[in-house]
Structure formats: structure tokens, C-alpha cells
A = this chain, B = another copy of it.
């Protein structure tokens, strides 16, 4: 049964669905009568309760998925499909110490906090005060976040912690902060990034290439919903076609010897090598100019 102060999802027969807080004296007014909070706290999740006009209302207990979808947002939030994948790839979980920037609306922060639990830690940096506050508000709204520390800081000056198990960067120019990453993470730690455009992905890959990083993966996740109709089963007419590109890599010592031993046999590698050479030439030229 939903305790006072908790969140609950109420659903009407017409399909209206609201995520509301159970507060004494703040009854919920539907178009078909008032839902008394006294009745709500006496009804189990998964049951029906009735309004003053005898309309049945269903009570769902909000899960992690509902909370993530329910956060107040001022910008694009990270979608649940991406959040789930990020949490798995970063290995969020009890006892783990995860670093994140920026906090944004706090949707990912919330999920990281959920998975890491009381024995874990989530450290989340944000440079814009309005988002810093919004993330705090959303965690507090969800009743989650005892293991979260929110920082109002500019990561251009470095990260506020050391020795994190994993880092997620959801910022516009993540490649600009890569030089601060080694101080903030354990050796071998996992990194993740979310980027909307391909040019950002390219710029990030160029940054990662300079090291000390390895085991790079770029992917995108597509969630295709189907109409849940037995006998007329088919995909939804429309879908979200793009949220962002996910990039993952590891903090890794990269000796020149190891790099030079990588196979250069394939066409891709050869072209890559040529590009690296050009890059080196450019660097050398610039060096001689600035010298």
C-alpha cells in the first residue's frame, strides 16, 4: 500500500495515467470524481480504488522505468533504452563508484543511484546552476539519491573525485575533458559517452585515439514498439529513430610498442596509418613553426 509521501501511478479506464504524490489532504481530482488519498493509502498496488463518483481507478507502483520517464526536464533527457545499456556497460551496481558529467535533468543519475544502492556512490558534476538544481529536485522527487553527490563545477578544471570505477560524459564536447580523465578514474576503468551528431563522434574518436584509451565501441540502440494486439500484431506506425550515439572505451596504458604491433594488413588499417602519418607530419610542422 502506498505510504504517505510516496509516489503512485493512477490510471483511469479511459487510459489517463498520472504519476502523483500521496499526500494527506491533496486528493486527486479526475473528470469523474475525486480520488481520496485516504482510500489510496488503504489500497494495495495492483488493485482498484474508487472515486467519489464510483469510477474505478488502478494503482501502479512506480518502478525505476516510470521514475526515469517521470523526471521533470528542461532539456532532452537520456532515454530509458540508453540508460539501461549505459548502466550495464559501466557495470553500475552495489558497491560501485560512478562518476558522471553533466547531471542534466538527473535521469541517468537516478538510475545509477538505484543500481548502486547504499553501498555504492554516484558523483555527478554539472556546470549550469539551473540543471544542478533540477537534478537535485528530480532525485528528491523520486525519493532516491542518498548515495549521490551533486557538484556544481566546471570539469574543464578537473573532476572532483579520484579513483572512480567508471565515468559517463554527457556533454557537448567531451574530447576537451579527456586530459582530466586519468586522474579521476582507476586504471582500467570503463568510460561511456552520449553524442547526438556524427561529427561529435568523430571528434571524440580522434581524442580517444591519442590515448590512454582502448577497446572503443560505437553503437546506437533502436527501440521498436509493437501494438500489443493479439490477432493484429504489428509494429507501431512510428518510432523514435534517433536519440544519440553511444561510445564506450577503457582507460588503458597504451605503449608505442603495442600500438606499432597492431595488424596493419587490412585496407582500413592502412588508410588509418596513412592518416596518422599525415597527422604526425602536421604536428611536426606546427612544432617547428612554434619553435
Contacts and interface: CB of A to CB of B under 8 A. Distances in A.
Interface of A: 11, 13-15, 44-48, 55-56, 58-61, 63-65, 68, 80-81, 83-85, 87-95, 111, 114-119, 186-190, 196-199, 201-203, 205-206, 209, 214-242, 245, 247, 250-253, 255, 257-259, 261-263, 268, 271-272, 275
Contacts of A223: 85, 219-222
B64 A88 contact: yes
A187 to B, nearest CB: 3
Contacts of A15: 262-263
Q: Which 8 A-B pairs have the closest CB atoms?
A: A46-B188, A94-B117, A45-B188, A13-B261, A46-B187, A239-B241, A235-B242, A84-B88
Nearest to A232: B197
| Oligomer copy total | 4
A282 to B, nearest CB: 14
Contact of A261 (B14, B209, B252): B14
Contact of A221 (B203, B222, B245): B222
A91 B228 CA distance: 22
16 contacts: A11-B215, A13-B259, A61-B188, A64-B93, A91-B114, A115-B115, A196-B234, A197-B234, A201-B233, A218-B225, A218-B233, A222-B222, A232-B271, A234-B242, A235-B242, A238-B240
Contact of A258 (B48, B206, B239): B48
Contacts of A119: 94, 117-118
Nearest to A1: B187
A226 B255 contact: no
A13 B258 contact: yes
A87 B48 CA distance: 27
A258 B56 contact: yes
Contacts of A225: 217-219, 241
Contacts of A229: 205, 268, 272
Contacts of A233: 197-199, 201-202, 205, 218
Contact of A63 (B91, B220, B252): B91
A203 B203 CA distance: 16
A85 B111 CA distance: 12
Among A115, A240, A261, the one with the most B-chain Cβ atoms within 10 Å of its Cβ is A115
A238 B15 CA distance: 24
Contacts of A237: 240-242
B117 A91 contact: no
A98 to B, nearest CB: 12
Contacts of A250: 46, 60
B214 A58 contact: yes
Given A218-B228, A252-B46, A253-B47, A56 B239 contact: no
